[in-house]
């Protein structure tokens, strides 16, 4: 497989960074081609703006998604976006590796989603979920947090973590058509022992080397909705 | 009330920007003090980094939340963060006004959360949900999107929008202790008529002038959890 690891952590010596390296090494050793986008190291610009387009369909009024379509179709995407989009097209698996900030990604990675998953190429019109533009690719979210599993039980103080990550797992990756694997979660990372960290990295490597056998998360099928996106009478919803 | 409007849209003539202005005007006219943080206009930096601190508790290894605490306590927060944090402290109500990007905020606003809601002052330890550091303040999410309400019905293709926004409504604003009002949602905005836009702005003004009568969203109470955040036997969970 071609594997893209999109990584963001402001501390180069962090455990999250060790996860990035464990993934790159384990996947390379087992014969995969691995590329890494280290967003802090690249000083990636996360702010969607008119500067993202070398030319515009409408110079007077910015509709970002429409300009993404126009720019992608006409070779007018800013070079930093084009470089990342080329990696997306190349990849069979994309791993998003980050520490949880406010039950989501750090802004530098959120902006990678905003700018790189361009309308038209990656989604648009009725091309989402099982008709998404990135259908056939896998995505894995691998994250670290300070919390412990019991806080995210069904009756835990926060409720299930995948519910808090729904905007990402379903609303972004599932929407784009990825086979979204169950997230790998590094629990309680700031507080665990070196031995526990080593065990966590071992568990992560094990996950990465058995991806083929893992069942993706379930999302809706557009087959169950009509052309106005209303549930069909025989829909399973 | 003191009202802070945090606004982000890359097009100054957008409908989302008209919502910002409608809110500022309506609230000012009814006697409130209003300040606006227009993140695009301010060229707000959304990337959490070591540069956010004028001095460090630990120069060798960055734990962002711990440095936030240290910097806030010692007057060492970067000036752009300090200026926004002062507005948060001043505000009785914060309105987050933005177009949905990937069922969340644009990165420039996500980074405002990451950098401005500093650990220690705003949350920390057992200070979250009904013990959150920003308890007593109100928060309102006002957003625009291209989708239509039926797509977000219980059996709609995406499911309820508040479920997709849980990371923000509960995981961020509820966690911080805000009274989180039901979001104001500008449906189908790119596709509606001028008349419908006018009606939507009228509805928004009406919402803003009746905030006192609106019931905040329900979140857990830490009274129902023990000191290890396990549900108490008599908990309501």
Of B5, B2, B93, B90, give the one whose Cα is nearest residue B41. Answer: B5
| pLDDT for res B125 | 84
Say if the Cβ atoms of A164 and B171 lie within 8 Å. Answer: yes
| Interface size between A and B, measured as CB pairs under 8 A | 170
Say if the Cβ atoms of A220 and B157 lie within 8 Å. Answer: yes
**Residue in B with minimal Cα distance to A164:** B167
d(CA B70, CA B68): 6
Main-chain phi, psi angles of B36, to 5 degrees: -120, 130
d(CA A219, CA A2): 24
Residue A145 has pLDDT above 50, yes or no: yes
E strands, chain A, where? 2-7, 33-38, 93-99, 138-144, 179-180, 184-186
| pLDDT for res B140 | 98
Q: Which residues of A touch B47 (CB under 8 A)?
A: 40, 46, 106-108
| pLDDT for res A159 | 96
Helix segments in B60-137, DSSP class H: 64-73, 79-90, 107-116
E strands, A48-163, where? 93-99, 138-144
The stretch A195-213 carries a mean pLDDT of: 96
| pLDDT for res B233 | 76
Domain edges within chain A: 2-224
Residue A47 has pLDDT above 70, yes or no: yes
Say if the Cβ atoms of A172 and B102 lie within 8 Å. Answer: yes
Residue A153 has pLDDT above 60, yes or no: yes
In this prediction the ipTM stands at 0.96
Q: Which residues of A touch B235 (CB under 8 A)?
A: 155
| pLDDT for res B48 | 98
| pLDDT for res B237 | 47
User: Has domain A2-224 been given CATH number 3.40.50.360?
Assistant: yes
A125 pLDDT tier (thresholds 50, 70, 90):
confident
Q: Which residues of B touch A228 (CB under 8 A)?
A: 150
| pLDDT for res A184 | 98
Residue A206 has pLDDT above 90, yes or no: yes
Rounded to the nearest angstrom, the minimum Cα separation between A60 and chain B is 9
SS3 (DSSP) at B53:
strand
Residue A237 has pLDDT above 60, yes or no: no
Say if the Cβ atoms of A107 and B102 lie within 8 Å. Answer: no
- Window from A205-209, A224-228, B80-84 with minimum mean pLDDT: A224-228
* Optimal mutation site among A105, A171, A183, A237, interface B, most CBs of chain B within 10 A: A171
Rounded to the nearest angstrom, the minimum Cα separation between B30 and chain A is 32
Residue A61 vs residues A5, A64, A67, A187: alpha-carbon distances, Å: 35, 9, 10, 45
Tell me the mean pLDDT per 10 residues along chain B, length 237. Answer: 98 97 98 98 98 98 97 98 98 98 98 98 94 98 97 95 98 98 97 96 97 95 93 67
CB atoms within 10 A of CB B158: 22
| pLDDT for res B234 | 59
Rounded to 10 degrees, the C-alpha dihedral A220/A154/B152/A216 comes to: -20
Say if the Cβ atoms of A107 and B104 lie within 8 Å. Answer: no
A233 pLDDT tier (thresholds 50, 70, 90):
confident
Q: Which residues of B touch A172 (CB under 8 A)?
A: 102-103
- Residue-wise pLDDT for A6-43, tens only, equals 999 999 999 999 999 999 999 999 999 999 999 999 99
């Amino acid at each position: 497989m071609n594997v893209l690891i999109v990584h963001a952590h402001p501390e180069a010596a962090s455990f999250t960074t060790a996860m990035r390296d464990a993934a790159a090494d384990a996947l390379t050793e087992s014969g995969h081609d691995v590329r890494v986008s280290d967003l802090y190291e690249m000083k990636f610009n996360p702010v969607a703006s008119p500067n993202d387009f070398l030319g515009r369909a409408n110079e007077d009024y910015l509709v970002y998604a429409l300009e993404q379509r126009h720019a992608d179709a006409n070779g007018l995407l800013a070079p930093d976006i084009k470089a990342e989009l080329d990696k997306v097209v190349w990849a069979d698996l994309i791993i998003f590796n980050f520490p949880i900030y406010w039950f989501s990604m750090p802004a530098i990675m959120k902006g990678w989603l905003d700018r790189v998953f361009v309308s038209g190429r990656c989604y648009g019109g009725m091309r989402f979920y099982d008709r998404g533009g990135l259908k056939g690719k896998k995505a894995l979210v691998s994250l670290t947090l300070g919390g412990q599993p019991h806080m995210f039980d069904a009756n835990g103080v926060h409720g299930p973590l995948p519910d808090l990550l729904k905007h990402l797992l379903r609303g972004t990756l599932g929407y784009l058509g990825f086979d979204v694997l169950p997230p790998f979660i590094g629990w309680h990372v700031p507080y665990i022992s070196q031995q526990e960290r080593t065990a966590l990295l071992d568990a992560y490597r094990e996950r990465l080397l058995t991806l083929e056998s893992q069942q993706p998360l379930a999302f809706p099928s557009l087959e169950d909705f009509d052309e106005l996106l209303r549930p069909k009478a025989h829909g399973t919803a």
